[in-house]
């Protein structure tokens, strides 16, 4: 197959075509280098330029203040579930978790292995359909940190602004909406995100950490699990995912060319809006998330029966609309429409939804 399909996968996900084309052109030899990026030392001048450019690109796009470090780690967002409490949850303290979906629950589970945790709010009862209201969040004023998931990839629920946490360090898993819209980085003590949705391939995990947090880290953790190791080593303490960082750099350049995060946000709103409008204008489709908590990255909805959902996915795949099956834990349909997913794909999905409803409604 040489034709590309519309790829609605939740991650690893669609990448910008110009990025893939450039990577293809440079696969055998980086210009002027005569070797692939996968064949050079991570301590070479060439790679130094690539990792510095990736960092500078993120710093510019996300407007990261100077007192924050940018790290490229491995182990996925899942390792951050453990690393965050290993570094910032002392034995005599407790950490607050705000649960808006399945990934927040996983983060909580890992933190509870390390130390004491407190669920400051959970939206589990309603099936994770919304972000909590301000008065539903019961913070411990002495919490070591407050953790949230900016976008719940499985349920399709997204924070539209940060909760008020006062001076408590706010930690965010931004794996599935990083780079989709501007964020006030200075409201966070630490942001982490796996690259494989909006930034590049899997195997690179971005960590943005505020300088003053480093002083809280206890001695004695395994070297690789101590953030200070990676700050000191500028993400080169050990061999990083050089290929992943190279692609991430190209993706940042692509986002910048598209007009940066404000332009991305406008486009993402327009793309998601098309699908949500199709859901709202029909009684055949039922959106999962409440209106003001809906994700612009993962649009989740149900059909009248699981049988129809199966048929929907099968027929969509035949028409070149791939990856629409909801996560195995919740079922239903999920259209993941990250930055690199084209508006034309959202239009194609809406047209298919209308046809499918006419034939099966």
Catalytic residue ranges = 103, 173, 197
Residues 16, 85, 194, 326: which binds ligand PMP (CB under 6 A)? Answer: 194
Residue 153 engages ligand PMP in binding (rule: CB under 6 A)? yes
How far CA 212 is from CA of 43, 88, 120, in Å, comes to 28, 12, 24
Q: In terms of Cα–Cα distance, which of 288, 297, 289, 286 is closest to 353?
A: 286
Backbone φ/ψ region at 196: left (φ over 0), alpha (ψ -120 to 50), beta: alpha
Closest contact distance (angstroms) between CB of 280 and ligand PMP is 25
The span of 42-50, 74-82, 108-116, 161-169 binding ligand PMP (CB under 6 A) equals: 74-82
Closest contact distance (angstroms) between CB of 174 and ligand PMP is 8
Residues 100, 129, 175, 336: which binds ligand PMP (CB under 6 A)? Answer: 175
Between 177 and 267, whose beta carbon lies closer to ligand PMP?
Answer: 177
DSSP bridge partners of 302 = 286
Number of H helices, E strands in the chain: 9, 14
Residue 40 engages ligand PMP in binding (rule: CB under 6 A)? no
Rounded Cα–Cα distance for residues 198 and 288 (Å): 23
Residues 7, 122, 129, 176: which binds ligand PMP (CB under 6 A)? Answer: 176
Residue 74 engages ligand PMP in binding (rule: CB under 6 A)? no
Q: In terms of Cα–Cα distance, which of 343, 303, 340 is closest to 325?
A: 303
Q: Cβ distance 230 to 237 under 8 Å?
A: yes
Query: HSE of 96 in the Cβ direction (CA atoms, 13 Å)?
Result: 19
Residues 16, 57, 76, 240: which binds ligand PMP (CB under 6 A)? Answer: 76
Residue 11 engages ligand PMP in binding (rule: CB under 6 A)? yes
Q: In terms of Cα–Cα distance, which of 139, 140, 138, 143 is closest to 92?
A: 143
Between 40 and 79, whose beta carbon lies closer to ligand PMP?
Answer: 79
Residues 87, 122, 149, 198: which binds ligand PMP (CB under 6 A)? Answer: 149
Residue 200 engages ligand PMP in binding (rule: CB under 6 A)? no
Residues 47, 72, 97, 103: which binds ligand PMP (CB under 6 A)? Answer: 103
Structure tokens at 299: 């649009």
Q: Cβ distance 297 to 176 under 8 Å?
A: yes
Residue sitting closest to ligand PMP (CB): 76
Rounded Cα–Cα distance for residues 265 and 105 (Å): 27
Q: In terms of Cα–Cα distance, which of 4, 8, 6 is closest to 197?
A: 8
Q: Cβ distance 204 to 163 under 8 Å?
A: no
Closest contact distance (angstroms) between CB of 82 and ligand PMP is 11
Q: Which of residues 264-303 bind ligand PMP (CB under 6 A)?
A: none
The span of 70-78, 155-163, 273-281, 285-293 binding ligand PMP (CB under 6 A) equals: 70-78
Which 3 state secondary structure label does DSSP give 220? coil
Bridge-based pairing of strands 205-210 and 68-73 is antiparallel
Residue 248 engages ligand PMP in binding (rule: CB under 6 A)? no
Residue 77 engages ligand PMP in binding (rule: CB under 6 A)? yes
Between 12 and 18, whose beta carbon lies closer to ligand PMP?
Answer: 12
The binding site for ligand PMP (CB under 6 A) comprises: 11, 76-78, 103, 149, 153, 173, 175-176, 194
């Amino acid at each position: 197959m040489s034709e590309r399909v519309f790829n609605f996968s939740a991650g690893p996900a669609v990448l910008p075509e110009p990025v893939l084309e450039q990577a293809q052109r440079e696969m055998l030899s980086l210009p002027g280098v005569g070797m692939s990026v996968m064949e050079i030392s991570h301590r070479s001048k060439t790679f130094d330029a690539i990792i510095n450019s990736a960092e500078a690109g993120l710093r510019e796009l996300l407007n990261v203040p100077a007192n924050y470090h940018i790290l490229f780690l491995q182990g996925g967002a899942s390792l951050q579930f453990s690393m965050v409490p290993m570094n910032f949850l002392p034995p005599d303290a407790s950490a607050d978790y705000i649960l808006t979906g399945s990934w927040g629950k996983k983060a909580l589970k890992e933190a509870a292995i390390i130390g004491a945790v407190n669920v400051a709010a959970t939206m589990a009862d309603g099936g994770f359909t919304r972000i909590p209201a301000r008065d539903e969040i019961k913070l411990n004023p002495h919490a070591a940190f407050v953790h949230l998931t900016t976008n719940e990839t499985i349920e399709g629920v997204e924070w539209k602004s940060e909760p008020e946490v006062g001076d408590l360090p706010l930690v965010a898993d931004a794996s599935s909406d990083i780079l989709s819209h501007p964020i006030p980085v200075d409201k966070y003590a630490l942001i982490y995100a796996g690259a494989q949705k909006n930034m590049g391939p899997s195997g690179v995990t971005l960590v943005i950490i505020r300088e003053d947090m480093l002083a809280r880290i206890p001695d004695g953790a395994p070297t690789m699990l101590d953030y200070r190791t990676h700050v000191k080593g500028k993400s080169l303490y050990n061999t990083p995912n050089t290929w992943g960082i190279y692609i991430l750099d190209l993706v940042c350049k692509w986002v910048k060319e598209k007009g940066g995060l404000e332009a991305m946000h406008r486009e993402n709103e327009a793309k998601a809006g098309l699908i949500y409008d199709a859901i709202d204008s029909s009684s055949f489709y039922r959106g999962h998330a409440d209106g003001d908590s809906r994700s612009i990255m993962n649009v989740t909805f149900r059909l009248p029966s699981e049988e129809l959902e199966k048929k929907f996915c099968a027929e969509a795949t035949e028409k070149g609309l791939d990856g629409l099956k909801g996560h195995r834990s919740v079922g239903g349909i999920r259209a993941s429409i990250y930055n690199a997913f084209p508006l034309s794909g959202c239009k194609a999905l809406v047209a298919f939804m209308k046809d499918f409803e006419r034939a099966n409604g």
